[in-house]
Amino acid sequence: MRPASPRALAVRILLEVERGGRAQLLLDRALDRLSWPERDRAYATHLVYGTLRRLRLLDFLLEPLLERPEKLPREVRWVLRLGAWEWLSGKADHARVSPWVEEAKRTHPRLAGLVNAVLRRLEPREAPECVRLSLPEWLCEAWRAFFGQVAFAEGFNEPAPLFLTAYRSVEGLRPGPLPDSYIWEGPKTDFSALGLQPQNPASLFAAMLLESSPGERVLDLCGGAGLKAFYLAAKGAEVISYDLNPRRQQAGEKTARKLGLRVTYRTQDLTEPLSEKAKKVLLDAPCTGTGTFRSHPELRYRLAPQDPGRMAQLQLKLLETAARATEEGGILVYSVCTLTEEEGEGVARAFLARHSEFEPEPIACPFPVLRSGLGVYVAPEGGLDGFYYLRLRKVNSRT
Ligand SMILES: C[S@@+](CC[C@H](N)C(=O)[O-])C[C@H]1O[C@@H](n2cnc3c(N)ncnc32)[C@H](O)[C@@H]1O
């Protein structure tokens, strides 16, 4: 059934997210099917992302006004959180309360009075920092211990510009923080037909760290659809992109053709050794994705404290493959879109303890840095995703 309004769509999507769906995918799909004006699309996006990004805080604000929130029908609970989000973002009562009361009436008319009363009685309430940032307690505490602060996580709760990497010159684009990176200000469109690829600059920079030269062979490991491979190919490298997932690679092949770029895709489980080597190897490993909380706001509520450690085991195995595939004198870049100690410095330390043939190289990071020394952690500021980069040189091949 087609949703009647951005509010109805937001409730439907949040219910699906609660059942395990991914907000970005669900919202993009739903909006693609609806020929709504830009204003309604933006409003639905604001409601879904805003509510998920502030969920812990919203529940904290609603807590004194509800006796047993967990007993409420799920639709009504989301209506209350959405209404609380609009209150938090400063919308006036007259424009805010009655639309949500009407929304509640559609599924639970008997609870409309409760929705009305609760949304009118919301009051400011001093929240502990981890609640205010809507982070799970374990991660908030781990970040505070590792980075000495957690205020940076506020960056995950702000909307971000749509960053693009340009493979053709396009008039009138606002420059982003890196060469070839731009900001798109219009409605979404067929970007690859314009020679553009949506990509966060923090992700693009991982590919730049390889400093590949024209004609040089590059291995792009865990390349997925090949977003980083596109950049390397555009700079003239001969790129071979490996991943476990053929569907992602097929999508990448299609995009590469539209962008006019040549990337060779090979499907392989990279916990197994590769049968080729190169001077430049990029491993953009699978990770817990804590650096992408802005665009995947539900992720933070799904991660468990043991996930970073578990992921680090896999990352180390993949790094072994990448190390063997790096020629002597060559460069190996390890990157992950996450900010945990385990998957960043933890992996780096464990790897270097076993591989004296690799030496870390300094990284001149153009972004705000959270922590550096052994690799660099990028702060999720100004729309950047949080990332960890490690650049290694293979000085001799003792393994
Ligand atoms: C962070 S994503 C890569 C994103 C990609 N580099 C890009 O820039 O778009 C990690 C990728 O690792 C792949 N992957 C996970 N486990 C793997 C394995 N054992 N062998 C090969 N690829 C794997 C996933 O399919 C996923 O595409």
Same domain, 95 and 221: no
The answer to whether position 179 is within a domain reads no
In this structure, the answer to whether residues 323 and 209 fall within a common structural domain is yes
Q: Is residue 219 part of a domain?
A: yes
For residue 64, which phi and psi values (nearest 5 degrees)?
-70, -15
Q: What is the pLDDT of residue 397?
A: 59
Same-domain check for residues 203 and 292: yes
Q: What is the pTM of this model?
A: 0.95
Only one residue has tokens 């293979």, namely: 394
The CA distance from 292 to 289, in Å, is 5
Q: Which of 110, 127, 144 is the endpoint of a domain?
A: 127
In a domain, 109, yes or no: yes
Within this chain, do residues 380 and 281 fall inside the same structural domain, yes or no? yes
Helix (H) or strand (E) holding 284: strand 278-284
Q: What's the pLDDT score for residue 93?
A: 81
- 205 and 302 belong to one structural domain: yes
Domain hosting 105: range is 6-127
Task: List, by residue number, the catalytic residues.
Answer: 337
- Same domain flag for 116 and 248: no
Residue 93 in marked binding region: no
Domain shared by 224 and 355, yes or no: yes
pLDDT at 398: 54
For residue 245, how far is its CA from the centre of ligand 1 (angstroms)? 8
Choosing from 203, 205, 240, 243 the residue with most ligand 1 atoms within 8 A of its CB, the one to mutate for a pocket test is 243
Atom nearest to 337 CA in ligand 1? 1
* Domain C-terminal end among 81, 106, 127: 127
Residue 354's CB is within 10 A of a number of other CB atoms, namely 13
From the CB of 313, is ligand 1 less than 6 Å away? no
Give a yes or no: residue 161 inside a domain. Answer: no
Looking at the chain, how many residues does it have? 399
Answer yes or no: is 238 within a domain: yes
Q: Residue 170's pLDDT is what?
A: 83
Is any ligand 1 atom within 6 A of the Cβ of residue 283?
no
Residue nearest to atom 9 of ligand 1 (CA): 227
> What ipTM does this complex have?
0.99
Mean pLDDT in each 10-residue stretch from start to end of the chain (399 residues)?
88 98 96 91 96 98 95 97 96 89 95 97 97 98 98 94 93 92 90 95 98 97 97 98 98 96 98 97 98 97 98 98 98 98 98 98 97 97 97 81
Q: Does residue 32 have a known ligand-binding role?
A: no
269 lines ligand 1 (CB under 6 A): yes
- Could you tell me how many helices (H) and strands (E) the chain has, helices first? 14, 13
Q: What is the dihedral of CA 176, 181, 186, 191, to 10 degrees?
A: -170
Residue where a domain terminates, one of 70, 93, 127? 127
- Of the CA atoms within 13 Å of residue 229, those in its CB half-sphere come to 31
Shared domain for 273 and 372, answered yes or no, is yes
Q: Does the residue 145 lie in any domain?
A: no
343 lines ligand 1 (CB under 6 A): no
Residue tagged 């929130």 (tokens): 69
Nearest ligand 1 atom to the CA of 228 is 8
Distance CA 345, CA 336 (A): 11
For strands 326-336 and 387-394, give the pairing.
antiparallel
Number of domains in the chain: 2
